[in-house]
Chain A
Amino acid sequence: MSTATTEHAVHADGIWKIFNEGQPNEVTALQDVNLTVESGEFISLIGPSGCGKSTLLRVIADLTDATRGDMRVAGHTPPEARQQQLYGMAFQQAALFDWRSVRRNVELPLELQGWDKAKRKARALELLDMVQLADFAEHRPWELSGGMQQRVAIARSLSVDPAILLMDEPFGALDEMTRERMQNELLRIRKETGKSIVFVTHSIPEAVYLSDRVVVMSPRPGRITHIIEVPLGSERDEDTREADTFFDAVTAVREALRGRVGGSDARAKVGEV
């Protein structure tokens, strides 16, 4: 879109996030994080619980602020980016409002931006068409399955046409089959819209299948340990999941996760805070 194309989607320079700084219960959630997400790039943040991947996403989204360091989102500070709606966000919970129809849930960000009714409706229907839920526009959220609800949430996050999508484990609560279908949907939406995407996940195959680069993080203190390029190109489909390059990338990510931490279940062993 506008300024976003000329800037990096996200540029993190020496980001620290320390909870309860100076107190006995001090926790370093992020330690000196440096990361650049190119415009149009798909980046996954992966790592065990407590590695700070969600915290990093929340700093980008201005849902929390960095203790130190400089964060730029489409060239702006996170508060500016939030105020100008330069990003859209989707969470693990669809967080739809039961008292609104599916269509009016998608319209919500537009309503907050002061769009007029007819334009809002047209835009929402266009997006529901893209996530293949046009027939459910006037349904209530509770009438939809978990996967459909999450598609509505994605449509909602796209409604103001932001340059960047921030996704915090959006498929985490879905079953494996639905999850894989949703991943294909997301790849298609990405291709159609050219968004830059920062995607937080627990799943190695999911990160590899979706991303251009996988950012591997480790806990205590939360930091980036590896950044792995995924050489799968831009055309990905079900066959990709069975390709050798795919398995190689999965192995690379898995080894990176083990490299420093000794496996994702070894959190308790590492006590270097």
Chain B
Amino acid sequence: MHLRVAGFTIHIAHADRSWPIAPAAAASAFLVDPAPADVEITVQVGRCEAPAGAPVFESGGSWRLFRTADGYRFSFVSPRSSAPYKIADFTPDFSSGRITLHEPFFAGMPAIDPLEYPLDELLIISLLARGHGVELHGCGILDDQSGCVFVGQSGAGKSTIARLWLEDERAVVLSDDRIVVRAHADGLWVYGTPWHGEAPLASPRRAVLKQIFLLRQLDRHALSALSRTDAVARMFAASFPILHDAAAVEFTLGFLDRVAATVPVRELGFAPTRSLIEFVRSA
């Protein structure tokens, strides 16, 4: 199985056909033909045991991160299992990995997605933080061959904005919740991701990044300039930094500063009406 998310090609190899693997519904649009991979992953089914030692990072949710002699280990837990239901080991540069699925937990399932959230997103943000870009909590729109991003935390109105743009035939919604920004030789690009919001909208397409809007709900449409510092701080607060890794945090901040220096980043006060589309196009 080959997936491509935000320009990263991931190859998942699974030899045991008695445990069929398949991507989650939203990720199926990101399947690609076999191609040279940026990340090689093997999947095995067996018994998972809780990693020894203290975690490097405790998410407070379903996953924990440990350091190992060979790299990093993600451990995923659930109330339905006393043992971790999944363990994912990666090399330090995340170019290769091994996923172990806890057999008792997955027995009887018709198909399994080894990269089931949050592992898929953890993998991508780990890659991005190592010099490749940033993921933002934002709605991405491809409009007239260029991309704009509407950034905001939960409840800011990202999915609302996505639904407005969905009605416009000229636009493509890349995502209503998570987008990736990467820098290539020809500039900054915005990518859709599988991790949609309430809309739900997820596209594997990408667009040249033209501008970023930081959302604020209002009773009218209004644009406000931001200092570069404020723009970076607010984008950082709506990103997914690798908080346990100082070098990764430094890279993320520097990358966001580069973004703020390259494209307009402004505050957009908005009312949820269709007139917002023309307002943004004329901005």
A binds B: no
Residue numbers of A with Cβ under 8 A of B are none
